[in-house]
């Protein structure tokens, strides 16, 4: 694995990172009374083994997926992969295997044949694997994975921060292109070029540059009647005064970034738009003041309050989400899982929250941006470091 990003190399001890993740996974297995984890989801395999697979559309990624097997009594995971140049060097040779074709009957049968003993949790089946395991009890791995992943080690936080730096540097190079006559896909193109030049491990999401309507009714059809965001970027020509909500994310050594801001094309914000930004900032300030170990997700929801007479995020989204090997993971804050769920989730030091409230003034548009924070022993620390121009100089 090559380190050395073009930006400052993060102070990451990759050996320690991988060792501590495995310790957390084994502890989660023990807590759930399990003996082994079998992992087919690529972010989960990467988390457990440190292995890297090339980024690809979901179809290709599934067809050449890596597989990892973690057991409580083995120091190392077993890894099945086609990508020899993505295998961490410390993994013992007898734990590294060629690819296992779990999308086919033969490969699924092979994995079922070497199935670990005892209580086993799995993240996902392929159809052939589901058939091959029909006579076995298989638990869902999400509880163990989530328990291990939700609190980050210092190395994980350093990698999320490094991913965010690359993401932000690339967006700083996109900003000058935002002018009347430019195409949205041109912005995507500049972003993609820059993240690779700057050393991103992968692009993980089609960059979003959504031209916002003034009112929900002027936008795309909405099944909930609430704001539609995000929409997929298509080739559109920017016009002066367009308000665009941008949302991009990359991967750096297995960890995701998340960048969100509101930009205005070829114009300064008017007084109303500045007030929207202030409304958004007030929400962020109230929530940041609430974040500390022991606060519940519901405390954050209550602190966010209302803006323009409504909850500051749409029904199908959230006030905030975690980030790590997945671009959205636990903790989830303010989802339709409901306030009881939010009450039951308590923050701890080392958790990451991406706050993404929206100050929406229907009829006059709105402001949206994202702030990533790490929960510290006595509050939180911002991992996002990007300006709010043109709303604030």
The mark string for 328-347 relative to other proteins (x by CB under 8 A, - otherwise) is ----x--xxxx---------
C-alpha span between 317 and 310 (Å, rounded): 14
- Angle, helices 42-49 vs 142-149, to 10°: value is 50
C-alpha span between 197 and 248 (Å, rounded): 16
Interface with other proteins (CB under 8 A), residue from 53, 91, 303, 348 = 53
Report, in angstroms and rounded to the nearest whole number, the Rg of the chain calculated over CA atoms. Answer: 22
C-alpha span between 361 and 140 (Å, rounded): 42
Stretch that binds other proteins, among 108-116, 230-238, 269-277, 282-290 (CB under 8 A): 230-238
The smaller minimum CB distance to other proteins, of residues 255 and 279, is found at: 255
Nearest distance from C-beta of residue 244 to other proteins, angstroms: 9
Q: For 241-302, list the strands marked E by DSSP.
A: 243-248, 250-252, 255-256, 259-264
Q: Report the SS3 class of residue 29.
A: helix
Q: Does 228 bind other proteins (CB under 8 A)?
A: yes
> Which one-letter DSSP state was computed for residue 115?
P
The smaller minimum CB distance to other proteins, of residues 154 and 222, is found at: 222
Interface with other proteins in residues 242-271 (CB under 8 A): 242, 251
Nearest distance from C-beta of residue 149 to other proteins, angstroms: 14
Q: Does 83 bind other proteins (CB under 8 A)?
A: yes
Interface with other proteins (CB under 8 A), residue from 35, 278, 316, 364 = 316
CB 361 within 8 A of CB 215: no
Residue 41, classified by CB atoms within 10 Å of its CB into exposed (0-12), middle (13-18) or buried (19+), is: buried
Interface with other proteins in residues 266-295 (CB under 8 A): none
Interface with other proteins (CB under 8 A), residue from 30, 54, 118, 305 = 54
The smaller minimum CB distance to other proteins, of residues 208 and 359, is found at: 208
Stretch that binds other proteins, among 22-30, 119-127, 296-304, 350-358 (CB under 8 A): 119-127
Nearest distance from C-beta of residue 321 to other proteins, angstroms: 10
The smaller minimum CB distance to other proteins, of residues 56 and 349, is found at: 56
Interface with other proteins (CB under 8 A), residue from 8, 85, 94, 377 = 85
Q: Does 186 bind other proteins (CB under 8 A)?
A: yes
386, 362, 371, 346: which is closest to 307 by C-alpha?
362
For strand 120-122 and strand 36-39, is the pairing parallel, antiparallel, or unpaired? parallel
C-alpha span between 48 and 21 (Å, rounded): 7
Interface with other proteins (CB under 8 A), residue from 32, 142, 146, 154 = 142
C-alpha span between 40 and 124 (Å, rounded): 6
Interface with other proteins (CB under 8 A), residue from 7, 27, 62, 267 = 62
Stretch that binds other proteins, among 157-165, 217-225, 271-279, 285-293 (CB under 8 A): 217-225
Interface with other proteins (CB under 8 A), residue from 8, 59, 117, 271 = 59
How far is residue 153 from each of residues 13, 24, 241, 278, 324, measured CA to CA in Å? 11, 10, 43, 34, 11
CB 309 within 8 A of CB 361: no
C-alpha span between 177 and 187 (Å, rounded): 7
Q: What is the arrangement of strands in the sheet containing 255-256, beginning at the earlier edge strand?
A: 202-203, 250-252, 255-256
Q: Does 194 bind other proteins (CB under 8 A)?
A: yes
Q: Does 216 bind other proteins (CB under 8 A)?
A: no
Nearest distance from C-beta of residue 191 to other proteins, angstroms: 8
Interface with other proteins in residues 349-378 (CB under 8 A): none
How far is residue 323 from each of residues 39, 47, 158, measured CA to CA in Å? 19, 13, 13
Interface with other proteins (CB under 8 A), residue from 32, 146, 222, 376 = 222
C-alpha span between 175 and 2 (Å, rounded): 29
Interface with other proteins (CB under 8 A), residue from 11, 93, 223, 271 = 223
The smaller minimum CB distance to other proteins, of residues 1 and 349, is found at: 1
Interface with other proteins in residues 2-31 (CB under 8 A): 2, 4, 6
């Amino acid at each position: 694995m090559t380190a050395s990003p073009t930006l400052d190399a993060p102070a990451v001890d990759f050996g320690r990172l991988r060792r501590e993740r495995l310790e957390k996974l084994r502890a989660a297995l023990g807590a759930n009374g399990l003996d082994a984890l079998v992992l087919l989801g690529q972010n989960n395999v990467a988390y457990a083994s440190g292995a890297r697979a090339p980024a690809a559309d979901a179809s290709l990624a599934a067809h050449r997926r890596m597989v990892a097997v973690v057991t409580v009594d083995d120091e190392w995971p077993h890894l099945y992969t086609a990508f020899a140049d993505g295998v961490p060097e410390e993994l013992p040779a007898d734990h590294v295997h060629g690819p296992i074709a779990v999308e086919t009957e033969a490969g699924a049968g092979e994995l079922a044949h070497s199935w670990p003993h005892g209580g086993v949790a799995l993240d996902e089946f392929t159809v052939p694997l589901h058939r091959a395991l029909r006579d076995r009890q298989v638990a869902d791995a999400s509880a163990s994975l989530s328990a291990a992943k939700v609190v980050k080690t210092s190395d994980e936080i350093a990698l999320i921060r490094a991913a965010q730096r690359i993401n932000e540097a690339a967006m700083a190079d996109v900003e000058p292109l935002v002018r009347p006559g430019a195409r949205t896909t041109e912005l995507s193109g500049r972003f993609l070029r820059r993240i690779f030049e700057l050393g991103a491990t992968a692009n993980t999401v089609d960059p979003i540059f959504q031209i916002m309507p003034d009112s929900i009714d002027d936008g795309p059809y909405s099944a909930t009647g609430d704001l539609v965001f995000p929409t997929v970027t298509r080739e559109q020509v920017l016009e002066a005064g367009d308000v665009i909500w941008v949302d991009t994310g990359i991967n750096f050594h297995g960890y995701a970034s998340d960048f969100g801001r509101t930009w205005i094309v070829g114009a300064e914000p008017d007084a109303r738009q500045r007030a929207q930004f202030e409304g958004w900032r007030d929400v962020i300030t109230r929530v940041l003041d609430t974040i500390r170990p022991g606060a519940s997700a519901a405390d954050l929801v209550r602190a966010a309050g209302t803006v323009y007479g409504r909850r500051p995020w749409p029904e199908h989204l959230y006030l905030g989400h975690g980030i790590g090997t997945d671009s959205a993971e636990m903790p989830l804050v303010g989802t339709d899982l409901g306030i009881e769920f939010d009450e039951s989730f308590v923050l701890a030091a080392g958790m990451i929250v991406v706050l993404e409230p929206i100050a929406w003034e229907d009829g006059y548009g709105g402001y949206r941006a994202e702030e990533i924070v790490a929960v510290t022993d006595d509050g939180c620390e911002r991992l996002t470091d990007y300006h709010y121009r043109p709303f604030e100089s």
